[in-house]
Structure 1
């Protein structure tokens, strides 16, 4: 997060060299993708201008694409930022609006033949946590993905280039987030990889005794492992080393076969 106001690591990497060093450290710790974002999407955030967002993310993406051999993702919902990020070496666009903010986003992604993360969000970041309501949270998110997948295909975005993200904490109460993780496997029938982003989020603090962001790694590990066991394949995290170790251990247990019996 190349931002001054993200919920956990705001200002920590609001500097090019610090951001580059942190990304390289994350790769050493086991990251498979580096996601670069230039504005916070925490509840109630104030959007920055497109020029400011570009100023924050493009130098980082440009440098990382030279130094790293893993994919670079840009966390943006603006077509102009996405296009410039792709020109600098990004191969994934992580869009919290799922290409609904501006129709041009689909054209950018289709033309570049890059991958895209389509996330579910009720409302906007400014309003999403003001008493979100669902009659059927799983059914409504499922229908949302069906519509977005159809839209993407109609825009000539290859099916295999799409990742879905149920948007934990984006227009959801604690009980919604818990139900989504518990029933995550239902989304696997859509045929696309599921990304789960729970790291340091507020609902973890609520279920772990109202702790702050700095104390939310343990419940975050538990949520990621639970998500993995329910079918999630990608995890957007701050604490790469710890999450990688936990997920590798969970995978070893889940996939163990006793060849001696």
Structure 2
């Protein structure tokens, strides 16, 4: 068995630990060794290259350090997003998200909910540019799969691209992002929004997603995007069943081994309602907070949420208790 066939997941500790995970507040001293078709094993050791990838501090993103959790507020400039599409004026909502404590905004003009259909780039651009202009001093991410839309957004003042296809949708996206020297979030998705939830299948979802993200990182680097400008997102709910989502969330610290900051987007997702008995998306804030705190305990840095004020409040209380746990 060679090291390349073993996946090393750091086992997070809220207090103490031999190493710091990604240079942040979470420590670890042991590893869970994961192999396809085999039961997990515990180990006190890992190769030096694995430890370097797991412990190296992540680069700042949009001027924000990645040594503590960061809140990304969602602004949907769409009439048909699954949670709140068409329920507010996007520019006014951007201001409200900032007032609620969002440290960055993710502005999207095309719904990527299950079953959503593609819209023309010009329509997407027309939806998001006024919102970017209204965002003021808070850094902005453009949530788009299309190079033409990302190009227009970056020229209008956005600082980052959030591509839910992980560069799979538009072959022009890697070169465009490299040209702008912008940070990019590469998300994993199986299929397109129109059909991604029809029958998603994996051999081992946790490891399959890891390999797919590693391939996306390699493709981005080949296009001239340095790793310190790459963020990864395992894509909860994008071509994944409830069981797939839970398998990823239980062991999400594995993805620190990719050497990038990690973004998590679980906010108001349907599986929260299924488990928590919350029929409407707006009722899923408590479940979102529970998953967010669990992810923070595994060192996840960026949290993309609808309910900024509520999630921020919960994190602050959790941090106060956690910071005192080792005293």
My pick for the range that moved more, 215-224 or 80-89, is 215-224
Following TM superposition, by how much is the alpha carbon of 1:258 offset from its aligned partner in structure 2, in angstroms? Answer: 5.5
Q: Is 1:194 the equivalent of 2:262?
A: yes
The within-5 A match list for 1:62-73 is: 62-64=133-135, 68-73=136-141
| 2:61 is aligned with 1:61 | no
TM-score by length of 1: 0.93
Mapping of 1:222-241 within 5 angstroms?
222-241=290-309
Is 1:47 the equivalent of 2:122? no
Aligned partners of 1:221 and 1:258: how far apart in 2? 23
- Counterpart pick for 1:142 among 207, 210, 214: 210
1:155 equivalent among 218, 223, 226: 223
Contact 1:181 1:230 in 2 (8 A): no
Deviation at 1:135, TM superposition (A): 1.2
Asked if 2 retains the 8 angstrom alpha-carbon contact of 1:95 and 1:118, the reply is yes
SS in 2 for 1:102: coil
Q: Helix, strand or coil for the counterpart of 2:196?
A: coil
Preserved contact between residue 78 and residue 108 of structure 2 (Cα < 8 Å):
yes
Q: In the TM superposition, what are the counterparts of 1:36-185 in structure 2 within 5 Å?
A: 36-64=107-135, 68-185=136-253
Other structure's SS at 2:218 match: helix
The gaps in structure 2 that reach 5 residues or longer are 1-75
1:252 CA drift (Å): 2.6
Query: Greater strand share, 1 or 2?
Result: 2
* Partner residue, 1:30: 101
| 1:199–1:237 Cα contact (<8 Å) kept | yes
Q: Which of the residues 79, 103, 106 maps onto 1:4?
A: 79
> 2: CA distance between counterparts of 1:214 and 1:70?
25
- Aligned CA-pair RMSD: 1.3
**Unpaired stretches in structure 1, ≥5 consecutive residues:** none
- Give 1:254 shift: 2.6
Q: How many residues align?
A: 252
The aligned residue for residue 209 of structure 1 is 277
- TM-score norm. by structure 2 comes to 0.75
- Structure ranking higher on relative contact order (CA contacts 8 Å, 6+ apart): 2
Structure 1 runs (4+) deviating above 6 angstroms are none
Q: CA deviation at 1:31?
A: 0.6
